Amino acid sequence: MTARRVLVLNGPNLGRLGSREPDVYGSTSYAGLVERCTALGAELGFDVEVRETNDEGELVRWLHEAADGRVPVVLNPGAFTHYSYAMRDAAAQRTAPLIEVHLSNPYAREEFRHTSVVAAVATGTLAGFGIGSYALALRALAEEVSG
């Protein structure tokens, strides 16, 4: 059986995991995140590709690619969560499940982080479990695509 393709898309500053505010985002490096996502994905029957960009337009193009290919997505929009209507509109075009993830709990942080323009168009949102948010999202995708 061929593994189902899944994109794990990360917005700005996620490539700095491990060195960026470890008290908020944890000590796992971006390479560690990639390793964990691809390994768990393989266990779940997924071919996971993890990407990161600081460029809003590139993230929008990746969401279009996922929509065109009916590819499930785990999306950590980073700061784009709070204001990128272009990314939100691209996510709204999804043709497969899309799970929004956050390492920290945005509602336990600064007020501007309490708004997600993506949440209303996502299948669901997982936040506050550190790197575990990605594992929970991949498991939720496995449930979504098998049902």
Question: What is the share, in percent, of the chain residues with pLDDT greater than 90?
Answer: 67
**Mean pLDDT for the stretch of residues 31-59:** 96
Amino acid 21: pLDDT? 57
pLDDT band at 79 (very low <50, low <70, confident <90, very high): confident
Task: Judge whether residue 19 has pLDDT over 60.
Answer: no
Task: List the domain boundaries for the chain.
Answer: 4-146
CA dihedral of residues 60, 72, 135, 29 (deg, nearest 10): -30
Amino acid 106: pLDDT? 77
102-114 pLDDT tens trace: 988 876 666 766 6
Least Cα distance to 142 among 72, 53, 38 occurs for: 72
Amino acid 143: pLDDT? 94
Q: How far is CA 75 from the centre of its chain?
A: 2
The C-alpha atoms of residue 135 and residue 19 are separated, in whole angstroms, by 21
Amino acid 111: pLDDT? 78
CATH class of 4-146: alpha beta
pLDDT band at 147 (very low <50, low <70, confident <90, very high): low
Q: b/e string for 116-129 if b means 16 or more Cβ within 10 A?
A: bbbeebbbebbbeb
pLDDT band at 35 (very low <50, low <70, confident <90, very high): very high
Active site residues: 25, 102
